């Protein structure tokens, strides 16, 4: 018998499904779709007029001030093309010359963007009229600005290092290691060198406190802020999304003070107090659609909202498929037959041995996939990823939500369930800080 109709977000569409009558829903986030939306440029102007913990941009510049504006990479949802014009207008109005402004795409360790992606990100006019450069984490002209507590030297993009005013543009959303995205992350790892980014991620990711939605005692986050301070990040402008990934608010000002206020605004939009983990969590991976990135919504679903030994059903779009190099790493790991994949993942990650010489986001994706699969039974529902690719990740595959739910019903005729239509903005607030990576 079946009861109640639900849906998961799938791009602009909604994928409906029903649950067995014997299943009890514990948590179901309902997305508001009727809230009035203020235009992004108006939100930016309002935020610039009320900076948090910082002088205004007009008070921070002079006629010949060299400015670097750091923007996040095209894979992020931040509407940079709509945020840049009011910021540039404020700088020009204050007397800054256009030739003294450089826009740096803070790629971190990600690949260079194609021209059409850059145009979509910053806007055609800006791309034509301003100097726009993409950060290269392997470049030999990066400039040292300090050291991590581990001892690794941190070097950053020369355009950023030499700028007298450094502005970061990004967005605030849950992040599995930093607690929240946005803020100082635009500088580190955004425009830093590959070696220090690797050291930082490998060392701190498995540490206690480095979890989704938490910053207070998070060493990953504190090192990010410390490097931003060392580099002299002067100002940020960060947007805040609602649970439908629409920009509903904006903060500007000091990179940490404004970020913290933005975090509180974000929590009001999509955080919820987690009362009880369920036997099964059903979640959409949206808005993430890139191979390694779809692991991010699986983390809270597997490690926070589902009981150990329970099941997670993930609806995922992934038009580009999974990188073969990453899948090959999974093959090698499973061939070695680790006694406990979660414990193996933690130890190998700390020693940078999951995917030697591989991209950092690949290593993080492998780490989280192994940890999550050791805690819960994961099924990926996808038309883009075939059964072979999903099985190589250590997950089960289904072509429809209905088939995945029916298969799980055979294992758990009576079960509790949590339903999250937009997993990428899933933020369960726990009564106590969970130590996610202890086995």
If you write DSSP's letter for every residue of 327-352 in order, what string do you get? Answer: HHHHHHHHHT--S-HHHHHHHHHHTT
The Cα 126–Cα 118 span in angstroms is 10
Q: Which one of 251, 269, 287 terminates a domain?
A: 269
Q: How far apart are CA 413 and CA 408, in angstroms?
A: 8
pLDDT at 220: 98
Distance, in Å, from the CA atom of 341 to the CA atom of 336, rounded to the nearest integer, reads 10
Query: What pLDDT, on the 0 to 100 scale, is given for residue 339?
Result: 87
Instruction: Report the pLDDT value the prediction gives residue 275, as an integer from 0 to 100.
Output: 85
Residues 74 and 101 in one domain: yes
pLDDT at 2: 52
Q: Could you list the mean pLDDT of each consecutive 10-residue stretch along the chain, which spans 439 residues?
A: 78 93 92 79 98 97 95 92 98 96 96 94 97 98 98 98 98 94 98 96 92 94 98 98 87 99 93 92 94 93 96 97 94 92 88 72 92 97 97 97 97 96 89 69
159 and 246 share a domain? yes
By C-alpha distance, which of 299, 311, 337 is closest to 434? 299
**Same-domain check for residues 323 and 348:** yes
In 3D space, the residue among 316, 301, 325, 168 whose CA is nearest the CA of residue 236 turns out to be 168
Domain annotation covers residue 75: yes
Spatial CB neighbours of 324, under 8 Å, sequence gap ≥ 6: none
Distance of CA 423 to the CA centre of its chain: 12
165 lies in the same domain as 130? yes
pLDDT of 34 reads: 65
Looking at the structure, do residues 159 and 138 belong to the same domain, yes or no? Answer: yes
Single pTM value for the model: 0.92
Domain boundary among 244, 269, 294: 269
- Predicted confidence at residue 71, as pLDDT, reads 98
Give the sign of the dihedral formed by CA 300, CA 286, CA 404, CA 295. Answer: negative
Range of the domain at 352: 2-30+274-429
Please check whether residue 251 lies inside any domain of the structure.
Answer: yes
Domain contains 82: yes
Instruction: Find out whether 100 and 62 touch, Cβ atoms under 8 Å.
Output: no
Split into its structural domains, the chain has a count of 2
- State whether 279 and 316 are in the same domain: yes
Residues 128 and 170 in one domain: yes
Give the pLDDT of residue 55: 98
Residue at which a domain ends, from 269, 285, 316: 269
Using CA atoms, how far residue 33 sits from 36, 40, 243, 386, in Å, is 9, 17, 9, 33
CATH number, domain with residue 341: 3.90.226.30
Distance CA 117, CA 321 (A): 19
What was the pLDDT predicted at 3? 60
Do both 231 and 319 map to the same domain? no
Q: Give the CATH number of the domain where residue 190 resides.
A: 3.40.50.11440
């Amino acid at each position: 018998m079946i009861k109640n109709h639900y849906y998961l977000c799938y791009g602009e569409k909604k994928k409906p499904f029903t649950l067995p009558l014997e299943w009890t829903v514990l948590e179901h986030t309902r997305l508001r779709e009727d809230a009035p939306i203020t235009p992004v440029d108006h939100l930016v102007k309002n935020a610039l007029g009320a900076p948090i913990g910082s002088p205004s941009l007009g008070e921070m510049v002079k006629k010949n001030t060299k400015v670097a504006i750091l923007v996040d990479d095209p894979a992020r949802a931040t509407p940079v093309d709509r945020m840049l014009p009011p910021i540039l207008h404020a700088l020009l109005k204050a007397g800054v010359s256009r030739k003294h402004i450089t826009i740096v795409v803070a790629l971190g360790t990600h690949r260079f963007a194609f021209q059409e992606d850059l145009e979509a990100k910053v806007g055609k006019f800006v791309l034509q009229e301003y100097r726009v450069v993409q950060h290269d984490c392997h470049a030999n002209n990066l400039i040292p600005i300090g050291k991590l507590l581990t001892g690794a030297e941190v070097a950053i993009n020369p355009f950023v290092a030499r700028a007298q005013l450094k502005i970061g543009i990004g967005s605030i959303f849950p992040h599995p290691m930093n607690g929240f995205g946005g803020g100082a992350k635009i500088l580190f790892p955004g425009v830093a060198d590959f070696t220090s980014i690797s050291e930082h991620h490998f060392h701190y990711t498995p540490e206690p406190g480095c979890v989704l939605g938490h910053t207070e005692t998070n060493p990953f986050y504190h090192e990010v802020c410390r490097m931003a301070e060392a580099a002299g990040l002067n100002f940020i402008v960060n947007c805040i999304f609602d649970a439908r990934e629409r920009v509903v608010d904006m903060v500007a000002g000091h990179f940490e003070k404004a970020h913290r206020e933005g975090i509180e605004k974000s929590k009001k939009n999509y955080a919820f107090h987690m009362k009880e983990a369920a036997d099964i969590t059903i979640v959409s991976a949206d808005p993430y659609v890139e191979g390694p990135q779809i692991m991010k919504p699986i983390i809270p679903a597997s490690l926070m909202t589902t009981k150990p030994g329970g099941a997670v059903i993930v609806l995922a779009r992934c038009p580009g498929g999974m990188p073969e190099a990453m899948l090959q790493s999974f093959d090698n790991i499973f061939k070695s037959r680790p006694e406990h994949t979660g414990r193996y993942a933690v130890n190998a990650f700390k020693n940078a041995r999951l995917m030697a010489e591989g991209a950092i986001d690949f290593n993080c994706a492998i780490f989280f996939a192994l940890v999550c699969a050791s805690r819960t039974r994961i099924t990926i529902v996808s038309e883009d990823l075939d059964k072979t690719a999903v099985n190589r990740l250590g997950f089960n595959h289904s072509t429809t939500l209905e088939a995945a739910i029916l298969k799980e019903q055979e294992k758990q005729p009576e079960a509790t369930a949590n339903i999250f239509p937009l997993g990428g903005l899933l933020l369960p607030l726990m009564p106590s800080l969970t130590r996610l990576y202890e086995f």
